[in-house]
Amino acid sequence: MTKKLIIATRESQLALWQAHHIRDRLEALHPGLTVELLGMTTQGDQILDSPLSRIGGKGLFVKELEQAMMEGRAHLAVHSLKDVPMDLPEGFELTAIGKREDPRDAFVSNHYKSLAGLPPGARVGTSSLRRQAQLRAKHPGLVVDTLRGNVNTRLRKLDEGQYDAIILAAAGLKRLGFGKRIAASLSPAESLPAVGQGALGIEIRSGQPEVARLLAPLNDPITAACVRAERAMSRMLQGGCQAPIGGYCVEEGGRLHLRGFVADLEGVRFYRAEAEGVMADPEALGHQVAEALIGQGADRLLAELIHRD
């Protein structure tokens, strides 16, 4: 019987919070189990002067963690699911998806209370092409710039006056105790979240039934179904990090409701779709919404974005 688990984790403050959270839950669930952390610095943490879409995408945050699992130095990795590529490498699986934290985007500013309150020409920072496209579509008078770095770095740049406001994931701010920095939470109608936003995913190597058994109580069925629908939509679109894609699914009365969009970088061409489906087959719902977006021309737009210089 497994007596010790090792979690491979990035060493950012948020990643460590997430790993400690899962460690504490596992040790509470399984008396006698010891859980240790293996801290690592990934390529995504090292390269901070370029947008993710230009340097290899979200996989840069997970490759080293997967290598540690492949070499037997770790049993599992804890991820913010919005940072996990839609296709995992062969031999890996998401064995548990935890209950979702606040999935919304957060407006953070020291001088303004809302996006609508920003004056023309105000500078807004965010790392996400998805957020950038939605900002440009709904607030064309703003200057939207790329903002990389961990949560503390982004807040510091705001406090130094480099930006009038920044947009971050509400979940990360709340997990790190920065909830009071949120001036306004953006509803999904204002800013549709990223696929998997607010949810934690636990990745393991396939073929480890004892590890999977220990992790099973951490899985939240409703969140897992919603995220599976979102990821199925994104996987079918094959947009990667090169395109603004949003996807958000909720459970309503025992059924799933999924909304998705694909846009160009300027927020000019915008394709939206939504549908309902059954809890038992979330992937079918994801495919349905993706097909509706493709029917509007999203596939041609994505091809342009992926192959642009």
Domain identity same for 120 and 143:
yes
Integer-rounded Cα Rg, in Å, for the chain is 19
pTM for this predicted structure: 0.91
- List, by residue number, the catalytic residues: 83
192-243 pLDDT, tens digit each? 999 999 999 999 999 999 999 999 999 999 999 999 999 999 999 987 777 8
Domain identity same for 205 and 59:
yes
Block residue for tokens 């629908």 = 229
Domain region containing 9: 1-98+199-219
Q: Is residue 28 part of a domain?
A: yes
Q: H or E stretch including 156?
A: helix 151-159
Of 88, 84, 87, whose CA–CA distance to 60 is shortest? 84
Q: What is the CATH number of the domain that holds 210?
A: 3.40.190.10
3-state secondary structure of 31: coil
Domain identity same for 89 and 47:
yes
Intervals of the chain under pLDDT 70 = 1, 42-60, 308-309
Q: How far apart are CA 183 and CA 174, in angstroms?
A: 13
- What pLDDT does residue 42 have? 65
Residue 26 CB coordination number (10 Å): 20
- What pLDDT does residue 149 have? 87
Q: Is residue 270 part of a domain?
A: yes
* Structure letter (DSSP) for residue 134: H
In single-letter form, the type of residue at position 8 comes to A
Domain identity same for 37 and 173:
no
Q: Is residue 192 part of a domain?
A: no
Q: What is the CATH number of the domain that holds 309?
A: 3.30.160.40
The tokens describing 244, both together, are 């603004």
Number of separate domains in the chain: 3
Domain identity same for 120 and 174:
yes
- What pLDDT does residue 48 have? 46
